[in-house]
């Protein structure tokens, strides 16, 4: 039908766009030396996971969608590979978003302690833990924790073992969801606190009589008071405040899109095995592809809030021409 053709075309375009956009981000980070530092290594890790989603997961998911009855006819081995990469890459993408949110939170609220060396070390640790946790969750069914392939029903899906469902959904989504919501709440509180402090930093001028009296005995005190007035009286937002405000907005949009894309899928993924609910396959497919679309939105969000990426993209295409 025409509707089916439109849906398939849309999914193909989503897959290709996700792959190309994340690949462009990776190439830009690799070629521009200014991006070889934090937080761009976190962005690169996110782009790697999203590229793998587009290259290895979404095409096979599309093949499954096109088969009659959404059956798996590509064999057991390819089923295991697809499920492993599906769980690992999507989990890594989610945790990479969490790592970016944590990095922005620490850079805003602890900018004095969160030095460049500390930031680099912590970001590398977060990347290593992200991929290690993702690999552990995805490989667990291969060692007997549930079954992913049923040759009789030609069914290929993530293990429906209730214990594995609780652990995998908790580790892949609900735990990072709690972290990012807590982080954004703390960023919001920190921004509100700074705005309150900024409003209360108005300097009240000393009376003329007091200034003359102090000047006749201790001139240095008058200089200190005037110096303080010059330091604290500022009009408008400072460059640092604007940067922090922009970073907080980027984190908020990144978290909001992440939640909207993935929460329908993980709610059904958790409820379905536990209550033996029969969710229509069409809704499972919609929720799954909505989650995949998060890999398309990620690079759009964190490059839209960084002018350096836009300039790097332009320079990259100009040099190639």
Give 106-161 pLDDT, tens digit per residue: 887 787 788 888 889 999 999 999 999 999 999 998 888 878 888 888 888 888 88
- Note whether residue 222 is domain-resident: no
Write down the pLDDT at residue 196: 61
Residue 229 lies in a domain: no
| Per-residue pLDDT, 161 | 87
* Rounded CA separation 189/185 (Å): 6
* Residue-range definition of the domain harbouring residue 6: 2-199+242-319
When pLDDT is averaged across residues 40-48 and rounded to a whole number, the result is 92
pLDDT value of position 24: 92
**pLDDT score at 201:** 55
pLDDT at 181 over 80: yes
Q: Which of 166, 167, 135, 160 is nearest to 146 (CA)?
A: 160
Q: Is the residue at 38 inside a domain? A: yes
Domain membership of residue 315 (yes or no) is yes
- Structural domain contains residue 88: yes
Establish if 308 belongs to a structural domain: yes
- The answer to whether residues 236 and 85 touch, using CB atoms and an 8 Å cutoff, is no
* CA dist., res. 19 & res. 38, Å (int): 23
pLDDT of residue 214: 46
For range 68-87, the mean pLDDT: 89
Largest CA distance in the chain: 99
Q: What total number of domains does the chain contain?
A: 1
pLDDT in tens, 212-227: 444 444 444 443 444 4
269, 270, 275, 278: CA torsion to nearest 10: -10
Give the per-residue pLDDT at 245. Answer: 74
DSSP letters for 26-87: HHHHHH-GGGSSTTHHHHHHHHHHHHHIIIIIHHHHHHHHHSGGG---S-HHHHHHHHHHHH
Please report whether residue 16 resides in a domain: yes
Q: Residue 11 pLDDT > 90, yes or no?
A: yes
Q: How much is the average pLDDT of 298-312?
A: 82
Contact 92, 49 (CB under 8 A): yes
Helix %, strand %, coil % for the chain, to 5?
80, 0, 15
Q: What is the pLDDT of residue 142?
A: 86
Instruction: Identify the CATH number of the domain in which residue 90 sits.
Output: 1.20.1070.10
pLDDT at res. 53: 95
Please state at what angle helix 307-320 crosses helix 2-31, rounded to 10 degrees: 90
Average pLDDT of the chain? 81
pLDDT of residue 216: 44
- Per-residue pLDDT band at 47 (split at 50, 70, 90): very high
Residue labelled with tokens 């499920």: 83
Residue at 74 is within a domain:
yes
Q: Using the predicted structure, report yes or no on whether residue 233 has a pLDDT greater than 50.
A: no
- Is the pLDDT score of 274 beyond 90? no
């Amino acid at each position: 039908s025409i509707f089916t053709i439109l849906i398939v075309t849309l999914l193909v375009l989503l897959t290709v766009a996700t792959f190309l956009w994340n690949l462009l981000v990776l190439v830009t980070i690799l070629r521009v030396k200014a991006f070889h530092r934090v937080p761009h290594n976190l962005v690169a890790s996110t782009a790697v996971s999203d590229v793998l989603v587009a290259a290895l997961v979404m095409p096979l998911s599309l093949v499954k969608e096109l088969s009659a009855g959404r059956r798996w006819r590509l064999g057991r081995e390819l089923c295991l590979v697809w499920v492993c990469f599906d769980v690992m890459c999507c989990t890594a993408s989610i945790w990479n978003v969490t790592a970016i949110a944590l990095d922005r939170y620490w850079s805003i609220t602890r900018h004095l302690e969160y030095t460049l060396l500390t930031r680099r070390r912590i970001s590398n640790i977060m990347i290593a833990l992200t991929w290690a946790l993702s690999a552990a969750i995805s490989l667990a069914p291969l060692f007997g924790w549930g079954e992913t392939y049923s040759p009789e029903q030609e069914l290929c899906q993530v293990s429906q073992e209730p214990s594995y469902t609780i652990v995998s959904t908790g580790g892949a989504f609900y735990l990072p969801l709690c972290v990012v919501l807590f982080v954004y709440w703390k960023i919001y509180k920190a921004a509100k606190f700074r705005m309150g402090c900024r409003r209360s930093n108005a300097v009240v001028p000393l009376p003329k009589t007091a200034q003359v009296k102090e000047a006749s005995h201790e001139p240095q005190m008058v200089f200190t008071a005037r110096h303080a007035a010059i330091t604290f009286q500022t009009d408008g937002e400072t460059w640092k405040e604007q940067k922090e405000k922009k970073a907080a907005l980027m984190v908020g949009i990144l978290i909001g899109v992440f939640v909207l894309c993935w929460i329908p899928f993980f709610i059904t993924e958790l409820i379905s095995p536990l209550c033996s609910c029969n969710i229509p396959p069409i809704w499972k497919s919609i929720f799954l592809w909505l989650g995949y679309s998060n890999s398309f939105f990620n690079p759009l969000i964190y490059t839209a809030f960084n002018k350096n990426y836009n300039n790097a993209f332009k320079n990259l295409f100009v040099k190639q021409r």
